[in-house]
């Protein structure tokens, strides 16, 4: 049996070892397909990152497919049952780095548009693609820069589908209609180094820091809401000491992160955290880093179109969720666009032997195509 169009394209993309930020020619494959469909394609390279914007149509509401061609490193190749950049079909699954995150989604987006345009060559509205090779990396010169470029051109996205693997058990069982914000801090607490036998001549930063961290961990930052769980505080790193058993360290370094809801702002988190640190009389420096603000798309045209498409094409009722990490949706949502994430099952993403169910690739293409129909083609 020959490959479906979506499977064949996913294979071609997986065969490119496009580890962040090296696109390795994936975008050229996508751009060629889109140009054949009448899209006007513009390459956008910022620093060492390749991006492109492709647009079809002159007027009406704009639906944008957003995604990334870059993947995380494969890791130890000996642990893979088949080479990560040699797409391998086995027992109904396609194996390879990026199969689920998110080359399968990119392929499904392309084939969905090919089918939709074949059926509706003079469709109303506009369709666009916003593709980057920097999502898995720093995300500084990818979608964020393209969005800034679009704003300078006064180009407004109405609806956006990000192809992140949103599903959990079955393709289409979850649509992500928002994400929590991510705020990190690198905390440096200064003490006075000395001999453990003479603690009165030293100041132990671990002893001073631990109670403050305990209070931060106990703090109830908010109660969440119907879309978001309560804000989470987690310590990811704590480093101090020289390695010697008889030396009181001179400083402690802590890294922690907030995943926060729309019920609290980053400013509030910073102010409340530093009030706790100051209450414990710490001599500290705090370097705060915001990875993304929380965003939420409430029920509207895009969500309704997605829910209906999944029901029609897959036969299941989808759930809305804001769980998980950040995505490039955090750069698009602040422009006022309705943003959802919809893609294959995420069970193996970033893992050894990443894979996607082959039948899910075709289902995803059909869902994307039906969303286009639901949004642009009015019933007779």
Identify whether 135 is a catalytic site residue.
yes
Nearest to 100 by CA among 214, 41, 14: 14
With vertex at residue 168, the alpha carbon angle to CA 166 and CA 174, rounded to the nearest 5 degrees, is 50
Q: Is the peptide bond before 21 cis (omega within 30 degrees of 0)?
A: yes
Are 230 and 220 spatial neighbours (Cβ–Cβ below 8 Å)? yes
Give the helix ranges, DSSP H, for the chain. Answer: 5-14, 26-36, 104-119, 143-152, 205-218, 266-279, 301-313, 329-332, 358-376
- Spatial neighbors of 14 by CB under 8 A, at least 6 apart, are 85, 87, 94, 96, 97, 98, 99, 103
Nearest to 177 by CA among 344, 63, 302: 302
- Exactly one of 135, 136, 164, 362 is catalytic; which is it? 135
**DSSP-based three-state secondary structure for 129:** strand
* φ and ψ of 189, to 5 deg: -110, 125
Distance CA 355, CA 358 (A): 9
- Spatial neighbors of 181 by CB under 8 A, at least 6 apart, are 258, 259, 260, 261, 266, 290, 291, 292, 293, 294, 330
Q: Which residue has the tokens 């109830």?
A: 220
Identify whether 70 is a catalytic site residue.
yes
Under DSSP, the state recorded for 92 is T
- Exactly one of 70, 101, 134, 158 is catalytic; which is it? 70
How far separated are the first and last CA of the chain, in Å rounded? 37
- Could you tell me how far CA 303 lies from the centroid of its own chain? 18
- Could you tell me how far CA 245 lies from the centroid of its own chain? 43
Alpha carbon of 70 to those of 40, 119, 177: distances in Å?
Answer: 22, 31, 23
Tokens describing residue 153: 């051109």
Are 61 and 125 spatial neighbours (Cβ–Cβ below 8 Å)? yes
Active site residues: 70, 135
């Amino acid at each position: 049996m020959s490959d479906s169009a979506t499977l064949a394209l996913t294979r071609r993309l997986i065969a490119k070892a496009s580890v962040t930020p090296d696109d390795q020619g994936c975008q050229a494959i996508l751009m060629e397909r889109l140009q054949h469909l009448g899209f006007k394609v513009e390459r956008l390279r910022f620093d060492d990152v390749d991006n492109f914007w492709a647009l079809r149509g002159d007027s009406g509401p704009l639906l944008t497919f957003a995604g990334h061609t870059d993947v995380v490193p494969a890791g130890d190749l000996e642990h893979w049952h088949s080479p990560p950049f040699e797409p391998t079909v086995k027992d109904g699954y396609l194996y390879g780095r990026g199969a689920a995150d998110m080359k399968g989604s990119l392929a499904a987006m392309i084939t969905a548009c090919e089918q939709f345009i074949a059926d509706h060559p003079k469709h109303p509205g506009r369709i666009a693609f916003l593709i980057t090779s920097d999502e898995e990396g720093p995300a500084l010169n990818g979608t964020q820069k393209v969005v800034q470029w679009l704003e300078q051109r006064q180009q407004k996205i109405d609806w956006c589908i990000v192809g992140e693997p949103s599903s959990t058990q079955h393709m289409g069982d979850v649509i992500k209609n928002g994400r929590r914000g991510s705020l990190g801090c690198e905390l440096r607490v200064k003490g006075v180094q000395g001999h453990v036998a003479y603690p009165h001549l030293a100041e132990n930063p671990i002893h001073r820091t631990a109670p403050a961290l305990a209070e931060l961990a106990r703090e109830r930052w908010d109660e969440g809401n119907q879309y978001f769980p309560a804000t989470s505080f987690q310590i990811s790193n704590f480093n101090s000491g020289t390695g010697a058993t008889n030396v009181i360290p001179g400083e402690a370094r802590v890294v922690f992160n907030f995943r926060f809801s729309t019920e609290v702002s980053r400013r509030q988190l910073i102010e409340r955290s530093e009030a706790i640190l100051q209450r414990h009389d710490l001599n500290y420096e705090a370097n705060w880093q915001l990875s993304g603000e929380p965003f939420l798309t409430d029920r509207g045209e895009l969500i309704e179109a997605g829910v209906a498409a999944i029901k029609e094409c897959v036969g299941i009722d989808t759930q809305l969720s804001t769980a998980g990490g950040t995505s490039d949706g955090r750069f698009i949502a602040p422009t006022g666009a309705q943003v959802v994430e919809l893609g294959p099952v995420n069970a193996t993403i970033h893992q050894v032997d990443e894979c996607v169910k082959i039948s899910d690739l075709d289902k995803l293409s059909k869902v994307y195509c039906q969303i286009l129909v639901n949004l642009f083609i009015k019933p007779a």
